[in-house]
Structure 1
Amino acid sequence: MCVGLLTGGAAAPPEFRALADVDPTVRQDMRYAGARNFMGRPVEGYEEPVCLLARPAAEALRRAQRRLLRRGLSLKVYDCYRPQRAVDQFVRWANDASDQGTKAEFYPDVDKDRLIPEGYIAEKSGHSRGSTLDVTLVALVGGRELDMGTAFDFFDPRSHTDSPAVSEAARANRRLLRDALGDAGFVNLPEEWWHFTFKPEAFPDTYFDFPVSRASVGSVWP
């Protein structure tokens, strides 16, 4: 398989879109652009808190959102396209045993030196290909997040989508999210209830590294 990598400050290919241009009703809480994440600080390459996706994935997300809105629910994305430089920083963080500031919140029961061997942190991420996102469900009125049993990016077996260690209500909400996105063509990663990839991917073999910025993508829609 040929794997490509766009590096440096390259702009996104024209197939990428800002999600807000495709569906402004999807809530966005882009965690890696700020300090509310497992590293406890903004992540390299996240210049703005915007969701960027390959166009087919963005359009599929819009279809899922249309159905959920009729049920009084909305999608909320935590992360979408992720530049390779951010993935590289995650790996450096995971290998830094001296940085344990977020352990109590994000990985209380897993030793940090196990995060890479156990697959919580990887050297390559599907996010960098533009068709993968991290997402949850919120109530349309008030924006309250539905109970999913764990927080986003909680490194623990309880985050497995079918984990029996969370409440039945949380399992039902995870199934609801998985079914809603599955009907639109997304496939869930079984180890992370929040992680979905649209299939077929627009760029299955390319890991991009342009920054997360509104300026990285065109504004033409459709």
Structure 2
Amino acid sequence: MTRLSRAVRGLLTALATLLAVTVASPTARAATDTTAPANFVALRTVDPTILQEMRYFTSHNFVGERIDGYLQPLCILTRPAAEALHQAQVKLLREGYSLKVYDCYRPQRAVNHFVRWAEDLDDQVMKSEFYPNVDKTRLFEDGYIAEKSGHSRGSTMDLTIVRLPARPTRPYHPGEPLVPCYASQDQRFPDNSVDMGTGFDCFDTLAHTLDPRVEGRQRDNRLLLKSTLEDLGFVNLAEEWWHYTFKPEPYPDTYFDFPVSSKSLVSTD
């Protein structure tokens, strides 16, 4: 190889390295930031009437313990998603309903917690409620657990509808008998939401939004949530009746890792 060829090759290598760093750095920086970008907000500052039952701050979830990164029971979203959710709430309040969120922004460290749990095949404490018909070895293959989540981009939320006036949901007591998430509403863990046919985070095909086995009032409730949100720019994940993403996302390719805490936000006023 000539001296000129070596010089050209070295220059091209340097440029490729610089380009890779330039492209990757926004996501890499976001993954280690302790504070959110300025347009992330606490949902309560945009609409304090939307109910919040942040399941991953509690032990009532498929893992069975509070999830890493949830320092407060707080819904955080990008401002466009929060404002669109407020518009949906205004529509539902007129009909005697309220939205209730189970999860909103989810830090990458929480997703990592899910992955570690899924890889531990001996930990099946919550199987009887959340994945009674799914072998834990198939959680990745069947798409229930993944190494990245749209929630970490800040515009995805898990939610349901509650008939007003809302009755309080009793607290979960660790170790209490578990009932399958697809059992009838009067048998599964009590939730003050309308009957959606399954509980939240039910790892079962019955949780697919338009599963034909879900009929009558349960299907109507799912369609009420779906139509209300889709009219305002939200897109449903077909496999989960509770999962919606506001489009267009401000951060479609960035997965954040700041904690779920008011201290992570620039302002909560």
TM-score by length of 1: 0.96
Q: CA deviation at 1:220?
A: 5.6
8 Å CA contact 1:129, 1:206 repeated in 2: yes
Structure 2: distance between partners of 1:176 and 1:42: 31
8 Å CA contact 1:20, 1:26 repeated in 2: yes
8 Å CA contact 1:32, 1:46 repeated in 2: yes
Q: CA deviation at 1:10?
A: 1.5
Structure-1 residue corresponding to 2:17:
none
Equivalent in 171, 177, 196 of residue 219 of structure 2: 171
Structure 2: distance between partners of 1:40 and 1:168: 32
Structure-2 residue corresponding to 1:47:
71
SS at 2:162 equivalent:
strand
Extract structure 1 runs of 4+ deviating beyond 4 A.
none
Structure 2: gaps spanning 5 or more residues: 1-22, 168-191
Structure with greater Cα Rg:
2
Q: Which moved more, 1:3-12 or 1:50-59?
A: 3-12
More strand by share: 1
Equivalent in 209, 214, 218 of residue 257 of structure 2: 209
SS at 2:31 equivalent:
coil
CA displacement, residues 57-93 of structure 1 (integer Å, 9 cap, x when unaligned): 0000000000000000000000000000000110111
Greater relative contact order (CA < 8 Å, ≥ 6 in sequence)? 1
More helix by share: 2
8 Å CA contact 1:9, 1:211 repeated in 2: no
Structure-1 residue corresponding to 2:165:
141
Q: CA deviation at 1:165?
A: 2.1
Q: How does 1:122-137 map to 2 (within 5 A)?
A: 122-137=146-161
Q: How does 1:179-198 map to 2 (within 5 A)?
A: 179-198=227-246
8 Å CA contact 1:187, 1:198 repeated in 2: yes
Q: CA deviation at 1:166?
A: 2.3
Equivalent in 103, 111, 122 of residue 87 of structure 1: 111
TM-score by length of 2: 0.80
Q: CA deviation at 1:214?
A: 1.1
Q: CA deviation at 1:169?
A: 1.3
Question: Which amino acid in 1 is paired with 2:109?
Answer: R
Structure 1: gaps spanning 5 or more residues: none
Structure-1 residue corresponding to 2:267:
219
Q: Identity of counterpart residues, as a percentage?
A: 59
